[in-house]
Amino acid sequence: MRKTEKIYMLSHLSSNSKDELIELLKDWVSFVRILTDPEIFRINDGETEAFNLFRIKEAFEQLTPESNLWLKIRAAGGEFQVHISGLTIVERNIFDASIFSAYHKMVENYCDLRMEKNGTYGYIRSLDEYLYNNVERLDKRDFQSQDELEKLPKRYNYNKEIVVDCNLFSGYDIYYKGLCMTSCWKMYYSNLYFQIIPRQIFLEVQQVQTIEELQNDMVKISLYLDPFKWEAEVNQKYQCFFREQIGFDQLVWTNGVGVLRPPLIEFAFIDQAVQTVQYQNDQLQPVEKKKATYFVTRSSDYIRKEYSENRTRGILNVQAYFPWIDHEGKKMMNYRVLNPELTLDEGLSAYEFYIRQYLEIDIMDERYESYIAVLRFYLPDQFLKELPLEPLYEKLYDVTISNLNQEKEVTYFDLDKAKNHLRVAFLSNTQLEAKNLKMAVEEE
């Protein structure tokens, strides 16, 4: 992989007034001038001009609550950009490794102070690492050889072009409720995150370099020592492990089927509260759900400032896998909402992954012996008409398949493997929207 050896900084800042906004912007210009000797600048789509401090400050003074302004500054050592929308600033700075080496402490202090006072989210990372994890278009990944490109995971975009499936990369920037969910060298998390993910989860995350509690409830996490050594195997593991522990991909993904990795944490949202379960082994280290012997449950209501947690040793029961239970009809159910539109294999890998997740389980619960366990896939209508059943059966070569039933509104079949059993059903996602799940565990 061809390297650029640059640092990429991102900050999302919110101000409380125009005066504060302008002060933040002036500080940014001062920061740029300390690091480099600015050469040219451009406002929105206007002409590129020689750097003019007076002209830039004049543009700041003319800002209104309705303003939507882009300002870009270029210098020999880097490129710097702010986007101002109302009282919000998104700041992106890219500069050479030599500048970072010379001003390392000042750069980090600058970022710390801004994030403490006005930050929503932010990070500092290698530009190469950012590009590797976030550039989807194959023709834009000119930093990789053809052999490297061929090994990357692929999917379709909405134009049916083949692109890289960046969802599967640890450093992918994905957004949930306006917040950036990623994993990289240094990251900043404001209290807005803690309304979704309990703060204690960030403070107790394992195998990171440092965790710092800054002012105003800001948490700063560093994964490893050197941002330019992100490709080192151990640093790659830290980056992946952090993302899995925090559970970003359990909250959101953009490829329609998920990351197809077992969860280390799961979420449930009830009213204003979030409930989480973290899975750990006997050494209290995070593990996938099926291997867990300890379970850390947390309940956090950020609005009411209520928080509770409990760590227990035990084994999983059927409700951990099939939370919707009809005791009278002796049925239990879980479901996945998938959209295979962007997959290259019509969702085949996703179907196999989730089926094995709910079939290949080891639980001691008498209900499992006598109840029908059902896994439902809710899909767009077009994928119900041509389900890849034969290829799926081939992938499930070690499973006994029986009782195939194909009706207008549902296709289902039964699976048996050793002492385990599972009914798999495919339904329209419009049925999910129309039904109450608590009443939807009836026989297919």
- Are the CB atoms for 95 and 35 separated by under 8 Å? yes
Q: Number of C-alpha atoms within 13 angstroms, CB side, residue 175?
A: 7
How high is the pLDDT of residue 433? 64
- Reduce the secondary structure of 23-58 to three states and give it as a string: HHHHHHHHHHHHHCCEEEEEECCCCCEECCHHHHHH
Predicted confidence band of residue 142 (pLDDT cuts 50, 70, 90)? very high
DSSP character string of 117-179: HHEEEEEEEEHHHHHHHH---GGG-TTS-HHHHHTS-EEE-TTS-EEE-GGGSTT--EEETTE
**N-to-C CA span, the chain:** 51
* Six-digit token string for 24: 């933040």
Q: Report how far residue 188's alpha carbon sits from residue 84's, in angstroms, rounded to the nearest whole number.
A: 20
Percent of all residues in the chain with a pLDDT value above 70, rounded to a whole number: 97
How high is the pLDDT of residue 111? 97
Q: Report how far residue 237's alpha carbon sits from residue 170's, in angstroms, rounded to the nearest whole number.
A: 9
Percent of all residues in the chain with a pLDDT value above 90, rounded to a whole number: 85
Q: Which of 245, 239, 133, 241 is nearest to 185 (CA)?
A: 239
Check pLDDT > 50 for residue 440.
no
Q: Which of 150, 119, 227, 153 is nearest to 183 (CA)?
A: 227
Q: Report how far residue 271's alpha carbon sits from residue 301's, in angstroms, rounded to the nearest whole number.
A: 9
Query: What is the mean pLDDT of the segment spanning 302-329?
Result: 90
* Six-digit token string for 255: 């490829």
Per-residue model confidence as pLDDT tens digits over 239-285: 999 999 999 999 998 999 999 999 999 999 888 899 999 999 999 99
Specify which of 106-110, 362-366, 431-435 reaches the highest per-range mean pLDDT: 106-110
Query: What is the mean pLDDT of the segment spanning 290-299?
Result: 94
Residue in this structure with the two tokens 């440092």, named with its chain if needed: 210
Check pLDDT > 80 for residue 351.
yes
The residues with which 265 forms a beta bridge, in sequence order, are: 278
* Six-digit token string for 186: 């240094």
* Six-digit token string for 122: 């932010």
Per-residue model confidence as pLDDT tens digits over 209-229: 999 999 999 999 999 999 999
Q: Report how far residue 78's alpha carbon sits from residue 63's, in angstroms, rounded to the nearest whole number.
A: 26
Neighbours of 390 (CB within 10 A): 7
Check pLDDT > 90 for residue 366.
no
* Six-digit token string for 416: 């048996």
Counting every residue, how long is the chain? Answer: 444
Classify the phi-psi angles of 323: left when phi > 0, otherwise alpha if psi is within -120 to 50, otherwise beta: alpha
Q: Report how far residue 203's alpha carbon sits from residue 348's, in angstroms, rounded to the nearest whole number.
A: 38
DSSP 3-state of 368: helix
C-alpha distances in angstroms, 250 versus 213, 240, 259, 421, 422?
A: 25, 14, 9, 25, 23
Per-residue model confidence as pLDDT tens digits over 178-199: 999 999 999 999 999 999 999 9
C-alpha distances in angstroms, 154 versus 133, 157, 344?
A: 13, 10, 7
Residue in this structure with the two tokens 């290949």, named with its chain if needed: 360
Check pLDDT > 60 for residue 444.
no
Check pLDDT > 50 for residue 439.
no
Which of the residue ranges 1-5, 405-409, 427-431 would you say has the lowest mean pLDDT?
1-5
Average pLDDT, the chain: 93
Per-residue model confidence as pLDDT tens digits over 14-44: 999 999 999 999 999 999 999 999 999 999 9
Amino acid symbol at 322: F
How high is the pLDDT of residue 4? 83
Per-residue model confidence as pLDDT tens digits over 77-94: 999 999 999 999 999 999
Check pLDDT > 60 for residue 149.
yes
How high is the pLDDT of residue 435? 54
